[in-house]
Amino acid sequence: MFPPFDEEAAKKVCIEMLRELEQKKSLCGNQEFYFFKGMLGALVCLDENGEQVVLRAFSGALGGKWNVAEFVPPLFNEEKYNAAISINDKKIHELSVAPADETPEQKSVRKKLRIKLCNETLRRIYSLYKFFCADGIARNFGDIVKEKLYARFRSDEKQCFLIPTGTGDCCAPKLLSHAFENKLLPISLEEFFWNGSSEKKFDETDFRNPCDEKCGLILPAILGLKIIYRDKNILVVEKPSGLLSVPGRGEEKQDCVVRRMQRLFPKTIAQPSVHRLDMDTSGLMVLAFDSQSHKNLSGQFARGEVRKKYIAVLDGIPQNEKLGITRATKNGRLEIRHRVDIENRPYQIHDDIYGKLGITLWQRERIWNMRGGQENAVRTVTTVCFEPLTGRTHQLRFAAASPLGLNAPIVGDNLYGNEEAQAGRLLLHASYLSFKHPVTGERMEFFSAPEFKC
């Protein structure tokens, strides 16, 4: 995954760690590190007084030890961790050895029992992890990956194999959780791979970003944002469905992408957003760290130089006799004038006189059957790709649902959709974003796949 913070200051700390390992064959006076094979990392922070604090971490355990002096602790209580393992440990080892006269039926029973006991142990272990997040809240695995964890279970036994083994033991989550627990502000993060006592010389490729498989699962929750790209001028994030883009009126509407960005990066300008996504829409957003970048990006949006694409799942099959859209139509262009319904905000209504023109290109991807809704019934749905050429409020939602458009609302749309076609969220995702970098002028492209089936 993309490194969430600048790496320069932390890289200097990592280089000092490397020199100590190479010259003294130890680290912080501990010789076990010389033979350690895994990731080592550093996080440079500021405390509440603005003083610099350096944190260090290693991935996994060091020679069977989780707590080592001068390094951040694991994200669980080591005593409880060992107790959780010991419950089934002996039996699991016994079941790992096949008896000489074992029949195929007995082998199947033995393997199933071993898997069951391993999953019981994993459940106990995962319940011990505690992640301190940027918002000050301590979360567990159930809070962070609940939907991913249970989405594909086929049996009533909720096994934990969907979380990769070792998730939560990498350097980045340990460092960031410790920092947030102690009210420290992270400013620089770097990690490197140490290959034990290998004769292979260290090079730049041994500096690593947080991993996608494990860190990518939990760091967005710890940070409050899924960071797709970051430099000194801009930040690209993937907004989850249900989160506001910018703060609204009232205390209950302050949690948003902008506030979370400013919490992680306090030097961000007061108004970093240059565009918005509806609260129910997920996907790519670009924000600016400085006023000049904000001005440049805002100009690109105003001039229509930014390309955006969305993936949506529509309830039904797009059909509109007046526009010549039939079941066989695969793409088209929609032009509809609409405005807010003054008596029913933020609902949009068609208005050829006072409405603003919304122009949308659309392309059908596939027609398929989806199970869901209040009665878990099977519904025919259509996956489409939208490319808005204008940026009107609810433009895509209105274009999909309107009789003047595709006449097929987006699944999960609580404003324009059918109550029977609910999916727990709006199935609309900003999947593509392209613009010129506000400083270098380089054309940048970002892609993001939706979490929902499409």
- For 63-113, what is each residue's pLDDT tens digit? 999 999 999 999 999 999 999 999 999 999 999 999 999 999 999 999 999
Which amino acid, residue 246?
V
Terminal Cα-to-Cα distance of the chain (whole angstroms): 23
What whole-number distance in Å separates Cα of residue 99 and Cα of residue 127? 34
Tens-digit pLDDT profile for residues 311-354 = 999 999 999 998 999 989 999 999 999 999 999 999 999 999 99
Contact status, residue 215 vs residue 170, Cβ threshold 8 Å = yes
The pLDDT value given to residue 231:
97
The pLDDT value given to residue 154:
35
The pLDDT value given to residue 422:
77
Between 114 and 436, whose confidence is greater?
436
Assess whether pLDDT exceeds 80 at residue 278.
yes
Question: Which of 278, 280, 315, 413 is labelled catalytic?
Answer: 278
Residue % of the chain over a pLDDT of 90: 82
Per the prediction, the chain carries an average pLDDT of 92
Strands 356-372 and 377-388: antiparallel
What whole-number distance in Å separates Cα of residue 104 and Cα of residue 74? 41
Residue % of the chain over a pLDDT of 70: 95
Tens-digit pLDDT profile for residues 217-226 = 999 999 999 9
Contact status, residue 280 vs residue 428, Cβ threshold 8 Å = yes
Q: Give CA separation, 216 vs 144, 208, 309, in Å.
A: 11, 14, 24
Tens-digit pLDDT profile for residues 38-75 = 999 999 999 999 999 999 999 999 999 999 999 999 99
What whole-number distance in Å separates Cα of residue 292 and Cα of residue 270? 13
**Residue 448: exposed, middle, or buried by beta-carbon count in 10 A (0-12, 13-18, 19+)?**
buried
Contact status, residue 300 vs residue 436, Cβ threshold 8 Å = yes
Tens-digit pLDDT profile for residues 369-414 = 998 766 778 899 999 999 999 999 999 999 999 999 999 999 999 9
The pLDDT value given to residue 162:
60
Per-residue pLDDT, averaged over 257-267, amounts to 98
Report the predicted TM-score, pTM, of the whole model to 2 decimal places: 0.90
Q: Give CA separation, 435 vs 249, 258, 307, 315, in Å.
A: 30, 20, 7, 31
Which amino acid, residue 188?
S
The pLDDT value given to residue 418:
83
All domains of the chain, ordered by start, with CATH? 8-75+129-208 (no CATH), 307-423 (3.30.2350.10)
Per-residue pLDDT, averaged over 293-307, amounts to 98
Which residue from 229, 192, 234 is spatially nearest to 209, judged by alpha carbons?
Answer: 192
Rg (CA), the chain: 26
> What phi, psi does 403 have (nearest 5°)?
-60, -15
Tens-digit pLDDT profile for residues 146-197 = 655 544 333 344 444 467 889 999 999 999 999 999 999 999 999 999 988 7
Q: How many CB atoms lie under 10 A from the CB of residue 345?
A: 9
Q: How many CB atoms lie under 10 A from the CB of residue 257?
A: 25
Which residue from 222, 190, 234, 219 is spatially nearest to 55, judged by alpha carbons?
Answer: 190
- Residue 290 per-residue DSSP state: S
Active site residue 278: yes
